[in-house]
A and B are shown apart, each in its own frame.
Chain A
Amino acid sequence: MSNHSTDLTPVNGELPDRFEDPGLHEHHERMGDTDPKANKRAERQVVVLFGLSVLGTLAFLVAYAIVPPDGTVAGIRMSNLLLGLAMFVALAGIGLAAVHWAKSLMNDHEVAEERHPIRSDDATREVAVAKLNDGIKDSAIGRRGVLKGAMVSSLALFPLAIAVPLVGNIGGDWDVSRSKHTLWKRGTRLALDPTGRPIKAADVTIGSVFHVMPEGIEEAEHPLNEKAKAVVLMIRMDPRDIRSEQGDGWSYDGIVAFSKICTHVGCPVALYEQQTHHILCPCHQSTFDAADGAKVVFGPAKRPLPQLPITVDDEGYLVAQDGFNEPIGPSFWERLT
């Protein structure tokens, strides 16, 4: 057994041309192979594990009958917990018992299966090549050019039947202009999200943040699609705090409204910190300064949040002066012109 070493350190600094097959490790007897008591003990352990599984199954049935989900959160949780634990014990008992049985009671003599070369012998290979050549000669593919062309065309064209519907189903239509415009237009009232109540300027006290959508968005053909583009965050601060805005007169008496769609990758930006006037995006921590035209003060966003120009109508309700003057959201649509 001296040549059973797995030590591959070169002898005298040189690797041998060929390593000797180290063969199998010496077979160690298990305790159960020599000691009948240990063998009996292992058998008992397997029986206990199977017994555990039986208990688990019975516990499952009992839990199913006695603790049905009663409709409350705690009741459903308790029912799930008991059923799950009982089923775990039932299945784990079977699995553990099977593995333990195989490991400790079945024979454990090591068996090695030699690997053979997978290359066929030369005679078989010659026969195979001859058969292929016969087939090619029989089809006369070399002489019948039209037939060859027809075959190649049919094979090459068929993938279109898969590719065309796959590509055609993307998006439905290719009108990108709808991604550049929102429902906001001149005179659209600002309404509360999600209740849809229009907002009076007097109701927006300093320090408030209102989550806003265009009034009447529910009547749109696809309200959720429109809402995904048109949502606006409206903030009122002391007018003296406003250092800049994106257009002259776009705010109303300290009330500013910005698109809620981040200009980085389009997450809803709405973590407004009242004291710093910073708006934080939860996805990648882009931070915009609402007091300074929503300029980016931190993070990966490259453009300020587009500002919605607002004013009040005759009845004191806040309305949009106009739509956004640039596409909202990530810069993608702006470039696609």
Chain B
Amino acid sequence: MKALAARRHHRSAPVVLLLLALLLTGAVYAIAAPSSADAASATTSQSDIDAGEKLFQANCATCHGASADGTASGPSLIGVGAAAVDFQVGTGRMPAKMNGAQIQAAPAQFDQEQISQLAAYVASLGAGPSIPTADQVDASKGDAANGGAIFRTNCAMCHNAVGAGGALSQGKYAPSLMETSPEHIYEAMLTGPQSMPVFNDANITPDEKRDVIAYLEQQREGSAGGLTLGSLGPVSEGLWAWVAGLGLLIGAAVWIGAKSS
């Protein structure tokens, strides 16, 4: 301490102090700064937005309007956010192929980079939900039991108790969630595509959304009891029991009753 005190008037003391302060600030920032929250926005640059706008004009503007404010054939995209774009384009629902009761999932028509550019452009039009971070959709960090409780109350009436999907009115349906990626499940809850209502972060918190994803991932392992037969309940199970089970019994009865040759 004495040595330090003796040198505090040294010529290079301010420089050393400044360097120390910079180092400290950098260290504090590295610890305290949100590590992943702006991962998506950090990677979007003006060039992404420009590239996205070109893609938008070429592929989306016919229905959604040249300035994305909607036409008679497509809704306004101002304020829907990057999450909606990543879901709709990433699941191949957009660009839509045909009109019908419901626009269906299909192979994606753009690669991930193009989808990010489109998302960056649409996000630049107005604030909206952003694409979830890898941490938010990490099923291994979720509580599947709690996710099951949330899912049964909020989702199971349309999507089936294990996410196998189900029918709605007039040809619409809730799709199966067995193949859906965690990001797309999260984005669907956040943005409410088509008939699906919105489940914002006040309704189902981000942690609870991750729990739901953990629950759905667990359902993909199938049933410990054997074949799930589509998890559709009494219809497929009954068909199996009546056709295969009773058929076997009738066959056995006929064989027992027939004379040996």
Contact = CB atoms under 8 A, between A and B. Distances in A.
Interface residues of B, number: 34
Interface in A74-88: 74, 76-77, 80-81
B203 A273 contact: no
Contacts of A271: 157-158, 168, 174
B163 to A, nearest CB: 15
A320 to B, nearest CB: 19
Interface string B216-232: 00100111111000000
Contact of A30 (B197, B203, B261): B261
B168 A193 contact: no
Interface string A182-215: 0000000000111100011001111111110000
Contacts of B255: 99
Interface stretch (B21-29, B59-67, B105-113, B148-156): B148-156
Nearest to B154: A211
B149 A194 contact: yes
A207 B192 CA distance: 7
B172 A273 contact: yes
A108 B259 contact: yes
Contacts of A76: 224
Contacts of A276: 169, 195
A103 B260 contact: yes
Interface in A42-67: 42
A275 B202 contact: no
A135 to B, nearest CB: 48
A208 B199 contact: yes
B47 interface: no
A261 B205 CA distance: 26
Interface residues on A, range: 35 or more
A73 interface: yes
B84 to A, nearest CB: 12
Contact of A273 (B149, B168, B222): B168
A204 B192 CA distance: 13
Contact of B221 (A74, A270, A273, A282): A74
B173 to A, nearest CB: 11
Given A73-B224, A194-B150, A272-B197, A278 B259 contact: no
Contacts of B194: 274-275
B198 A205 contact: yes
Contacts of A32: 260
Interface string B199-241: 1101100001000000000100111111000000000000000
A209 B197 contact: yes
A67 to B, nearest CB: 14
A235 B195 CA distance: 13
Interface in B101-155: 149-150, 153-154
Nearest to B194: A275
A203 B172 contact: no
Which secondary structure dominates chain A's binding surface?
A: mixed
A192 B259 CA distance: 68
B256 interface: yes
B196 interface: yes
A42 to B, nearest CB: 8
A268 interface: yes
Contact of B260 (A30, A77, A81): A30
B161 to A, nearest CB: 11
B78 to A, nearest CB: 14
A274 B192 contact: yes
Contacts of A104: 260
Contacts of A200: 202
A208 B261 contact: no
A87 B5 CA distance: 88
A280 B168 contact: yes
A287 B172 CA distance: 14
B191 to A, nearest CB: 9
A208 B199 CA distance: 6
Given A74-B222, A77-B223, A282-B157, 14 more contacts: A73-B218, A73-B221, A80-B225, A108-B260, A194-B149, A199-B202, A205-B200, A208-B199, A211-B153, A271-B158, A273-B169, A274-B198, A280-B168, A298-B169
Interface of B: 149-150, 153-154, 157-158, 166, 168-169, 172, 174, 192, 194-200, 202-203, 208, 218, 221-226, 255-256, 259-261
27 contacts: A30-B261, A31-B261, A77-B222, A77-B225, A80-B224, A80-B226, A81-B226, A108-B259, A194-B149, A194-B153, A195-B208, A200-B202, A203-B202, A207-B192, A207-B198, A208-B192, A208-B199, A208-B200, A211-B153, A211-B154, A271-B168, A271-B174, A273-B195, A274-B195, A274-B198, A278-B169, A287-B169
Interface of A: 28, 30-32, 42, 72-74, 76-77, 80-81, 99, 103-104, 108, 192-195, 199-200, 203-211, 235, 268, 270-276, 278, 280, 282, 285, 287, 298
